[in-house]
């Protein structure tokens, strides 16, 4: 079996996660697209524009991720090498979600995905993310051996420039 990668764009609600994903992939829909890896070779990427936490807990729990979105969009795991998806940085008591990014990352690591993380430190409207949450995810990434290291992204910058930074540092 070919090695599979997941690139999570992690951020607070309405921080610019889907905008960065659109700039990375050129798509506005959840589907498999062609991108290029760091060496310029074609790479099939399955794009999920929203965080599973936003899409309904009962529909996309960590234990069934990414199989649940593969099933929803009729995509086979053999159809792609890289999954690009958003994750919520924090789960608020008001949200429908009760699983944090930690559970999703643990789940995909158990499935032998190579996890890459870009975390939004400033939202599209230049609102800084909660510093405690940023610190927590950095510690978590080190504890679960995320390599390459987590990348901080500034969604208030030109999203194409930030997407290029993510691509250069986190694409396989």
Structure tokens at 128: 């800084």
**What's the whole-model pTM score?**
0.92
Q: Which run of H or E residues covers position 108?
A: helix 101-110
Give the three-class secondary structure for 154.
Answer: strand
Instruction: Give the phi and the psi of residue 5 in degrees, each rounded to 5.
Output: -120, 150
pLDDT value at position 2?
80
d(CA 127, CA 6): 26
pLDDT value at position 53?
79
pLDDT value at position 70?
94
pLDDT value at position 166?
95
Token pair 């649940």 in the structure block, residue: 68
pLDDT value at position 97?
56
pLDDT value at position 133?
94
pLDDT value at position 116?
96
pLDDT value at position 105?
97
Helices then strands, each counted (H, E), the chain: 5, 6
In tens, the pLDDT along 19-66 reads 999 999 998 888 999 998 888 899 999 999 888 877 665 678 899 999
Task: Report yes or no: 42 and 172 within 8 Å, Cβ to Cβ.
Answer: no
pLDDT value at position 148?
84
List, run by run, the mean pLDDT of 10-residue segments along the chain (172 residues).
90 93 90 90 92 73 92 94 94 67 95 96 95 95 92 95 94 90
Instruction: Give the phi and the psi of residue 98 in degrees, each rounded to 5.
Output: -130, 0
pLDDT value at position 50?
84
Domain boundaries, the chain: 5-170
CATH 3.40.50 fits 5-170, yes or no: yes
């Amino acid at each position: 079996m070919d090695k599979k990668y997941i690139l999570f764009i992690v951020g607070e609600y309405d921080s610019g996660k889907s905008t960065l994903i659109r700039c990375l992939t050129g798509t506005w829909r959840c589907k498999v697209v062609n991108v290029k890896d760091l060496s310029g070779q074609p790479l099939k990427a399955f794009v999920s524009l929203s965080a599973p936490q936003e899409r309904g807990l009962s529909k996309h729990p960590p234990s069934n991720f990414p199989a649940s979105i593969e099933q929803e969009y009729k995509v086979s795991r053999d159809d792609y090498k890289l999954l690009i998806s958003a994750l919520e940085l924090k789960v608020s008591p008001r949200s429908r979600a009760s699983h944090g990014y930690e559970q999703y990352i643990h789940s995909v690591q158990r499935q032998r995905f190579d996890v890459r993380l870009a975390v939004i430190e400033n939202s599209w409207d230049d609102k800084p993310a909660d510093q405690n949450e940023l610190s927590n995810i950095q510690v978590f990434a080190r504890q679960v051996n995320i390599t390459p290291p987590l990348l901080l992204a500034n969604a208030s910058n030109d999203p194409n420039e930030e997407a290029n930074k993510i691509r250069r540092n986190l694409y396989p």
